[in-house]
Amino acid sequence: MLLLAFAVVSRAAGKPAPPNILLIVSDDQGYADVGFQGCQDIPTPQLDRLAREGIHCTSCYVSHPYCSPTRAGLLTGRYQQRFGHENNPFYDPTDHREGLPTTEQLLPAYLREAGYVTGWIGKWHLGAALEFRPLKRGFKEGFGFIGGGHRYQNWQENEAVEYQVPIERNGQRVEVTNHLTVEFGQEAARFIRRHQAEPWFLYLAFNAPHTPHEPTAERLARLDSIPDLKRRRYAAQVSLMDDAIGEALAALRASQQERRTLVVFFSDNGGPIGTNGNGSRYTPFRSGKGSVYEGGVRVPFVVNWPGTLTAGKTYDRPVSSLDVFATALACAGIPMPKDRKYDSVNLLPFLKGENPGTPHERLFWRSGPQWALREAQGKLVRRAQQADELYDLADDPGEARDLAETKVQKAKVLSAALDTWDRELVPPAFPGLGARRPGKGTGKK
């Protein structure tokens, strides 16, 4: 209440209101599957405009190659392994262990204390029990589903089946007749129009283009030039999401909030490949979702703030999805908390050119029996019971030529740094999806 009163008095005294923050996350989208990354067969005009009028970060990484841990890191500003969120939780509203530990305070809670209206739309995937849900973690408003995925249309509601649970608004079931991606875009636009007079934070977390692929017939027909059916269905899902993002951005422009809104977009991890692939592409990188090679953790990333950030720039130094936390707090005028170790960096001085340095000396990953570290252009990859691998991303972005035996000292230094980081972490706090119990919310269809 004191923070809110201070914010009101400050604005009355003529100080500018803090900016709105629109955080857009796609689900399982390949690095190469947007126009601003060179994609030719999937139209993404809204995202391309966002990049053209903002800053395109070419070396952005998520902190984990799977959905839920990435989101846990994003909303806490900490490597999620510091508090045990290393696995995707299974869906079970009666399980009080499978979710983002309540010992962590999330970004929306900090922003709400500072006078922001906080909203979540879309996918949650951070725990199904009541104490893990959005309205208990700092969000004032919410619209979406609690699990890790959902059907897009024509589902039969079933609270026990993860991909068919009811869609909820502020904890109450609502009927959805639109394609779910379309509905999320419209709901975001409504939120933006509804809160024109106050600073807001909106976490717009699409489940597109995650499977199951259920695009509208119209959108699938529009992309019939793509011969491979899986790729075409995936492309249609991406295209629908791009339209939905455009709906939200149009609401910003129409309500004259564009120049006072920081917009961030990225994918939560790389797209799945192989027999379980979703049709995504990760050119020029290696592997995909679930892997700590580049294709699993390097993602499309855009930061847009008209009038504050120079339009049309690219930023090539490594940044992380973890950095959204510190960047958002800085925008809101909130100091970084000091109660524990944080890994997030405020990107604004770097993107503005005020700081010529590098946001991160090193970035780290751990996912089960695999680890990785990036320092400058060097990348160390470790897989259990195998020798460490070393790559030079400047010359070999596809991680095809292992240099560990020719650059022994470099590999040794990075290996020691990885060991030091790994010792700071804790074991998984819950067993996760791989240990899901039969009959407990296991259905997806």
Active site residue 85: no
Q: Go through 170-181 and write b for each residue having 16 or more CB atoms within 10 A of its CB, e for each that does not.
A: eeeeeebeebbb
The angle, 0 to 180 degrees and rounded to 10, between the axes of the packed helices 45-52 and 229-254 is: 50
CB neighbours of 137 closer than 8 A, spacing ≥ 6?
Answer: 75, 100, 106, 108, 109, 126
Measured distance CA(365)–CA(354) in Å, rounded:
28
Give the number of other Cβ atoms within 10 Å of residue 125's Cβ. Answer: 28
Question: What's the Cα-to-Cα distance from 298 to each of 17, 186, 337, 342, rounded to whole Å?
Answer: 34, 29, 27, 21
Q: Which of 39, 57, 60, 67 is catalytic?
A: 67
CA dihedral 368, 374, 375, 380 (to 10 degrees): 70
- DSSP tally for the chain: helices H, then strands E: 11, 17
The catalytic residue among 56, 125, 179, 210 is 125
Count of Cβ atoms closer than 10 Å to residue 150 Cβ: 23
* Contact between residue 398 and residue 286 where contact means Cβ atoms under 8 Å apart: yes
Residue 284's Cβ-count burial label (10 Å; 0-12, 13-18, 19+) is middle
Separation between Cα atoms, residue 126 and residue 104, nearest integer Å: 12
Q: Is 224 in a helix, a strand, or coil?
A: coil
Can 210 be counted among the known catalytic residues? no
Q: How far apart are CA 89 and CA 86, in angstroms?
A: 9
H-only helix segments in 77-198: 107-113, 180-194
Hey, what amino acid is at 110?
Y
> Catalytic positions, please?
67, 125
